[in-house]
Structure 1
Amino acid sequence: MWIRFLLVFFWLVPAAAFAQSHPIVLLINSYDSQYPWSEALTRGVKDEFSATIPDYDLHVEYMDERRFLDDEQYHRLLVDLLKYKYRRYTPEIIIAGDDLAYNFMLEHAETLFPGTPVVFSGVNVFDPDALADKPNFTGIQEGMEIQGNLALIRQLQPEVERIVLLGDRTELGQRMVRRALAIKAQWETDSAKSRVQLDIWDDFTLRELNERVKVLGKNTAILMMAIHMDNEGTYFSYRYDLPLLAKHSPVPIYGMWGTLLIGNCVIGGLMNDPYQHGRNATKIAVRILNGTPVETIPVKDKAAYAPVFDYPVLENFQIDLDRLPPDSKIVGKPVSYYEEHMALVNTTVAVVLVLLGIISALMVNIYQRRRAQKQLDEFNHSLETLVERRTQELDARNQELKKASKILQSLAYTDPLTGLGNRRAGASELKARIERRQDMEPLCHVALLDIDFFKQINDTHGHPAGDAVLCAVGQVLTENIRATDRVYRWGGEEFLLLMTCQEAGECAELLQRLRTQITQLSVGDVERITISIGTAAFVGDDSFDSILHRVDQALYAAKHNGRNQVVAF
């Protein structure tokens, strides 16, 4: 009974050691991987997970909704794809980036991933009633800072008489438009604001939009809510179409989406940061993975919006920088020589002041220096003599230290018994080969050679006899390996052999030949010596630990199967 228990125990322990220790996380992005917003959000998720989740356990999917917006057939195919793909890799938590991924998960999460927690971020138009029967959903609303940006425009352009808000006819665009219409209705009832006309444009082709902005009056501003495509289904690129729109517009364009807009001819605005979205959503996901129930984590009302501006565009429209909010970030602003080299300038000034102080002190004490010059010359002569003698002594000691260093280095990397490289030298060479394996065309093999029944040799014939056997085996290995191979004493009765072979069978033949030659050894009273050999070739992205692990397994198999044999894994 005890034997059966031990067999089961030693069978289960190695299996448990290889069990997956990290949860699988699925990140679903609304857009494509080239879209700057999605790229920044994904980077934020990866950076926040970097200390807890390996990259290979973070699965990232892109819905590409800017190209397939409101395409029901595409959504059905996407559901089928995710269902097929993640039946093998079941995620323990899902992060949904932006509105479209969030709405997709609202509709399909229970079909695809029943009961799996979902953390969303970047939801512009949020309806809390949608989560009434979704206890496993939580996250962060992105919201829209329309009102804040309208106030900011009036602050920067006090003479503004008209503000045009840009949206589109997509489902997400219309949600934003409805929010803008509600704000417009409130705006018109406020006497302080009603003098500024709010217009909402959402039905146009890109060509029509470029023509319409050309005729806008000088006391006008544009607030970009979001454009995914025009009314003909033409994709709107923030990298290419937005600069063209700004080129046609005689008035500044403001916006809310920092990563998409800054650097593409938009003046700026109260903007949010998708990278921070990703990090903040991931912090919530980590709390859930650590055991916090989803239902105890409330949905955060709104993401942070901060004033960010593009300096060249501010200059182009002659915006007074004193009107900017005090905590504004200004991108592209040239810095003065002093601002760029502040530390160098301050250091230089400090040095000059110190030098002036020294010069002044020298001038005050010039008389005393002349009187003491003779004594100083004598002292300098004595000092030079002393320094020369000390220098000679130091040179002699340095030579001794170099010799001692060479001796210590040799001892550090050499086995004193066999004269072979020791474990430290072998590990260093193996790691070096792993680092340059991309450049190695021949196959690189690693082998561990273990002298069979070595303890019995020591117990029967004494440790001097064991040492003699080790030296003899080491000599056979050294004399019979090729010039490109390396052998090291790995420890105890084990030797490490690193081989470079043109073909897999070449290394096997070499190891069999070494095994045969060692069986022919006779050392003193030890008439028969055999070795067991485990070997493996580098495969894929083998690391130092993984290749040695497989070699060790092969050696174990050789021992287990009767010793005096070569086993390759």
Structure 2
Amino acid sequence: MRLFTKLLLILSVTFSLNASDKSSILILHSYSQEYEWTKKQHDSFVKTLKDSNQEFEFFTEYLDTKRLKFTKTYQESFLEYLKMKYSELSPDLIYVTDDNALTFIFSNYKKIFKTNTKIPVFFSGINNFDMQKELPKDTFVGIYELKEIKPNIELIKQFSPQTREIYLIGDDSNTYNSIKKEFESHLSEFTNLNFHYLSDEYITNVKDKLPTKPRSFVILTTIGNFKDAKDNTLLPKESIDVIRQNRNLIILSMEDAYMHRGVVGGYMTSGASQGGGAANLVLEYLQKRSLENISSIEKGSNEYFFNAKELIDSRIILSEYIARDSTLVDHNGDSIDSKKSMFLNIFTVVFIVLFFGVVALFAIERKKYKRQAKKMSRLENLKSKLYAKDQFINNLLSFDDMAYWRLDTIKDELYVSKELLSFLGIDNNIYKDDPNVLTYFIHSNDKKLFGENMSEVKKSKKSITFSHRFVTSNKAVLNVTHKIYTEYINHTASLILGIVKIEK
């Protein structure tokens, strides 16, 4: 009998030890399990913990506040539901995602669990930075979600230096208004740009206000609360499908959960980084058994994401420093190349695949140019044209290692000679006319100089000679001397001509 009692005691102690090694975590999400932003955070949080050498038990609940209004009545009903369901459970840890869940737990922390033990709360995806002042640091710690719009504006300036109109799309939620307020504090840094705020609860009202000019840039801020005409809350993918019906748009995003078909990419918050970061804070806490010296993280979870096909379709080339720090994904959100230094090589492959289409487009553009030249039959135009070209040829013959380009400012069409394409390392057979191609290859420190001289030659009607640097597709630096002219037709600088000499 004594032996049996001892065995029971040993089994009991062993069971207790094993049970104590497993940490129970109550997870409360603001949104539904189908919402991709929530899913990314949840999966990354759980996976990071499961990959550790510790045991966990998870209990997951969803407030679903994208589809249900976060009213006081709803919160009281949900509180009663939690108290009833978890009356016999006191979790070791709590993890919440996004603002509504954090607000709910913070307001009802002492009402849910009947315990004198302090339960630490970990969070991610929090936009309300004012919560830092209210949350007790010995109980709450996590990852804040900072949507940084400034890097996306810089991206657009790089993609299309001539762009002046940028559109910000949002669902008119509190999160959208917070983003707008934060961005407006930086407006003085973008004096040459015009910003249009398109926000509404209903997606059709936003759709009707979208720009109709080709290659218009729009930025998705937060779109999870959009509704259709029947008052149904749409998934982000459904909202994006509505927006991209407008074929004039180049769509950037500030959140990786919006990386669906039609979205080029951008500098965005990462659900995986948010959830994984919160899990790492949990592991740090379990190692120390205290939140002392563990601080919330405000920055560092944003990343560059781009969709390979959308980049090509939008005729966008990334600079080297952006490409190096970016993740390239396909339409399913799967990474194409984990070696970010190989990013640009992918574009070379894609361009080769599109060889025949590019050659056909090139031929069409050349044909358009010839057709336009035939229409310029007026004597004044002819004299002006012949004079400009005589001047162009005379200067051209004065150089060795030369190349040239010609910009039609009326049609915004750029012709680049085979020699210049060769100098820049561009395959003439697959080159597609792009009025901005020169700016892609001008050294970053010389872009301002080049732009100023282009403006001056239009204004003064005189040729300008200056020196600067090109950076080839192979990253070689070329020192060049550049001469720029204008051909004025009917008092308009309709053609700008450039002669380039490569300095040895």
Taking structure 1 as the reference length, the TM-score comes to: 0.53
CA gap of 1:111–1:284, structure 2 versus 1, over 3 A, is same
Q: Does 1:265 align with 2:262?
A: yes
Q: CA deviation at 1:32?
A: 1.2
Q: Secondary structure at the match of 1:17?
A: helix
Separation (CA, whole Å) in 2 of partners of 1:326 and 1:161: 24
CA gap of 1:316–1:326, structure 2 versus 1, over 3 A, is closer
Q: Which residue of 2 is the match for residue 315 of structure 1?
A: 312
Separation (CA, whole Å) in 1 of partners of 2:92 and 2:288: 12
Q: In the alignment, is the contact (CA less than 8 A) between 1:140 and 1:303 conserved in 2? A: no
Q: In the alignment, is the contact (CA less than 8 A) between 2:285 and 2:291 conserved in 1? A: yes
Q: Which residue of 1 is the match for residue 301 of structure 2?
A: 304
Matched to 1:121, the amino acid is S
Q: Identify which of 182, 193, 198 aligns with 1:196.
A: 193
Matched to 1:301, the amino acid is E
Separation (CA, whole Å) in 1 of partners of 2:263 and 2:321: 15
Q: In the alignment, is the contact (CA less than 8 A) between 1:168 and 1:174 conserved in 2? A: no
Matched to 1:138, the amino acid is V
Aligned length in residues: 328
Q: Which residue of 1 is the match for residue 290 of structure 2?
A: 293
CA gap of 1:151–1:63, structure 2 versus 1, over 3 A, is same
Q: CA deviation at 1:217?
A: 3.0
Separation (CA, whole Å) in 2 of partners of 1:245 and 1:53: 45
Q: Secondary structure at the match of 1:247?
A: coil
Q: Which residue of 1 is the match for residue 151 of structure 2?
A: 148
Q: Does 1:175 align with 2:188?
A: no
Separation (CA, whole Å) in 1 of partners of 2:34 and 2:239: 16
Q: Which residue of 1 is the match for residue 274 of structure 2?
A: 277
Q: Identify which of 224, 229, 233 aligns with 2:225.
A: 229
Separation (CA, whole Å) in 2 of partners of 1:196 and 1:337: 29
Equivalent positions of 1:328-343 (< 5 A) are 328-332=326-330
Q: In the alignment, is the contact (CA less than 8 A) between 2:199 and 2:206 conserved in 1? A: no
Matched to 2:41, the amino acid is L
Separation (CA, whole Å) in 1 of partners of 2:90 and 2:155: 46
Q: CA deviation at 1:36?
A: 1.7
Q: Secondary structure at the match of 2:167?
A: strand
User: What is the CA RMSD across the aligned residues, in angstroms?
Assistant: 2.9
Separation (CA, whole Å) in 2 of partners of 1:326 and 1:283: 28
Q: CA deviation at 1:130?
A: 3.6
Separation (CA, whole Å) in 1 of partners of 2:164 and 2:200: 22
CA gap of 1:323–1:8, structure 2 versus 1, over 3 A, is closer
Matched to 1:277, the amino acid is Q
CA gap of 1:40–1:337, structure 2 versus 1, over 3 A, is closer
Separation (CA, whole Å) in 2 of partners of 1:202 and 1:249: 20
Q: Give the percent of matched residue pairs that are identical in Structure 1 and Structure 2.
A: 21
Q: Which residue of 1 is the match for residue 364 of structure 2?
A: none
Q: In the alignment, is the contact (CA less than 8 A) between 1:99 and 1:172 conserved in 2? A: no
Q: In the alignment, is the contact (CA less than 8 A) between 2:147 and 2:268 conserved in 1? A: no
Q: CA deviation at 1:24?
A: 0.7
Q: Identify which of 237, 240, 258 aligns with 1:242.
A: 240
Q: Secondary structure at the match of 1:26?
A: strand
Q: In the alignment, is the contact (CA less than 8 A) between 2:148 and 2:267 conserved in 1? A: yes
Deviates more, 1:245-254 or 1:69-78: 69-78
Task: Deviation per CA, 1:300-356: give whole Å up to 9, x if none.
Answer: 12142222111222222222344771322232379879989xxxxxxxxxxxxxxxx
Q: CA deviation at 1:254?
A: 0.8
CA gap of 1:303–1:104, structure 2 versus 1, over 3 A, is farther
Separation (CA, whole Å) in 1 of partners of 2:348 and 2:217: 36
Matched to 1:235, the amino acid is T
Matched to 2:96, the amino acid is A
Task: Deviation per CA, 1:62-118: give whole Å up to 9, x if none.
Answer: 221211143332222211111222222211111112222222222222322472101
Equivalent positions of 1:107-146 (< 5 A) are 107-113=107-113, 115-131=118-134, 133=136, 135-146=138-149
Q: CA deviation at 1:41?
A: 1.6
Separation (CA, whole Å) in 1 of partners of 2:346 and 2:223: 38
Q: Does 1:17 align with 2:14?
A: yes
Q: In the alignment, is the contact (CA less than 8 A) between 2:94 and 2:121 conserved in 1? A: yes
CA gap of 1:49–1:129, structure 2 versus 1, over 3 A, is closer
Q: In the alignment, is the contact (CA less than 8 A) between 2:252 and 2:265 conserved in 1? A: yes
Q: In the alignment, is the contact (CA less than 8 A) between 1:125 and 1:143 conserved in 2? A: no
CA gap of 1:163–1:302, structure 2 versus 1, over 3 A, is same
Separation (CA, whole Å) in 2 of partners of 1:305 and 1:262: 14
Matched to 2:37, the amino acid is W
CA gap of 1:289–1:122, structure 2 versus 1, over 3 A, is same
Separation (CA, whole Å) in 2 of partners of 1:339 and 1:15: 64
Matched to 2:104, the amino acid is F
CA gap of 1:298–1:134, structure 2 versus 1, over 3 A, is closer
Structure 2 unmatched ranges of 5 or more = 331-335, 338-344, 351-504
Separation (CA, whole Å) in 1 of partners of 2:159 and 2:67: 35
Q: In the alignment, is the contact (CA less than 8 A) between 2:202 and 2:226 conserved in 1? A: yes
Q: Identify which of 161, 165, 178 aligns with 2:164.
A: 161
Separation (CA, whole Å) in 1 of partners of 2:68 and 2:111: 21
Q: Secondary structure at the match of 1:138?
A: strand
Q: Secondary structure at the match of 1:149?
A: helix
Q: Which residue of 1 is the match for residue 468 of structure 2?
A: none
Q: In the alignment, is the contact (CA less than 8 A) between 1:167 and 1:177 conserved in 2? A: no
Separation (CA, whole Å) in 2 of partners of 1:143 and 1:300: 10
Q: In the alignment, is the contact (CA less than 8 A) between 2:141 and 2:296 conserved in 1? A: yes
Q: CA deviation at 1:224?
A: 0.9
Matched to 2:299, the amino acid is K
Separation (CA, whole Å) in 1 of partners of 2:246 and 2:347: 35
Deviates more, 1:327-336 or 1:151-160: 327-336
Task: Deviation per CA, 1:350-374: give whole Å up to 9, x if none.
Answer: xxxxxxxxxxxxxxxxxxxxxxxxx
